[in-house]
Amino acid sequence: GDSVTQMEGPVTLSEEAFLTINCTYTATGYPSLFWYVQYPGEGLQLLLKATKADDKGSNKGFEATYRKETTSFHLEKGSVQVSDSAVYFCALSDRGSGGYQKVTFGIGTKLQVIP
Amino acid sequence: DSGVTQTPKHLITATGQRVTLRCSPRSGDLSVYWYQQSLDQGLQFLIQYYNGEERAKGNILERFSAQQFPDLHSELNLSSLELGDSALYFCASSVRGSGTEAFFGQGTRLTVV
């Protein structure tokens, strides 16, 4: 079945540091890939997505490139801010048997940015 | 606003009791997912419905059950509650078709005392 593996946190960075959160996936079909963010006390929000190989999703300074050859979708940001402190979830969306849409999440990586 | 509505936002109940959590998906979304998020446990997939039918089951206890109604809203029933069931319960919905993301509600915070 489908699965998503992402690095366990917490990740602690100083403000303006470079961020990478690794994510790899296993899927039987041709999935779409997503990063979600959960700020403290809130629900999950879509951060960015990519629907096919070599697509780059980007939003709020975050980027991730769909790498089919390495089955990866690593999240990067050049300069993090304190306000980026949150939990980040990698996810994939694929068609299950019967044609319905199935979404699979990674375990989440907690990011803490210190001033 | 994601368009997914969950009620109630907060729920406090005693051990052994039964509660029902409600989710209204975004207009047009046929799939509904339920997740449990405990402290330090990450996002645990419970169950998925598609157009009224159960499609996938995750780590859902036998004391828990769910259903999706003809109007596509869904309910998650938790019975014989234990202290360890205290968690955030999220509902998400998505449309059928590839490339579609799941939209999350704000969650129901359940506290079992």
Does B104 sit within 8 Å of A108, measured CB to CB?
no
Does B90 sit within 8 Å of A44, measured CB to CB?
yes
Mutation target to probe the B interface, by most B beta carbons within 10 A, among A2, A32, A100 is: A100
Q: Find out whether A87 and A38 touch, Cβ atoms under 8 Å.
A: yes
The total of other beta-carbon atoms located within 10 Å of residue B74's CB is: 25
Burial of B2 (0-12, 13-18, 19+ CB in 10 A): middle
- From first to last of its 115 residues, chain A has per-residue pLDDT tens of 788 999 888 999 999 999 999 999 999 878 999 999 999 888 899 999 999 999 999 999 999 999 999 999 999 999 999 999 999 999 988 776 656 667 888 989 999 999 9
- Please give the pLDDT value at position A96: 62
- Please give the pLDDT value at position B68: 97
- Please give the pLDDT value at position B97: 46
Q: What is the C-alpha separation between A93 and A31, in angstroms, rounded?
A: 5
Q: What is the C-alpha separation between B109 and A86, in angstroms, rounded?
A: 18
Instruction: Give B13-56 pLDDT, tens digit per residue.
Output: 999 999 999 999 999 899 899 999 987 667 888 999 989 999 88
- Please give the pLDDT value at position B80: 97
Nearest in space to A59 (alpha carbons), one of A28, A92, A96, A84: A84
DSSP string, B18-83: -EEEEEEPPTT--EEEEEEEETTTEEEEEEEEETTEEEEE-S--TTEEEEE-TTS-EEEEE-S--G
Q: What is the C-alpha separation between B72 and A70, in angstroms, rounded?
A: 38
Does B99 sit within 8 Å of A51, measured CB to CB?
yes
Residues in chain A: 115
b/e code A20-50 from CB counts within 10 Å (16+ = b): ebebbbebeeebbbbbbbbeeeebbebbbbb
Mutation target to probe the B interface, by most B beta carbons within 10 A, among A95, A103, A110 is: A103
Residues in chain B: 113
- Please give the pLDDT value at position A86: 95
Instruction: Give B56-99 pLDDT, tens digit per residue.
Output: 888 899 999 999 999 999 999 999 999 999 999 999 998 864 45
Task: Give the phi and the psi of residue A68 in degrees, each rounded to 5.
Answer: -70, -35
Using a CB–CB cutoff of 8 Å, tell me whether B25 touches chain A. no
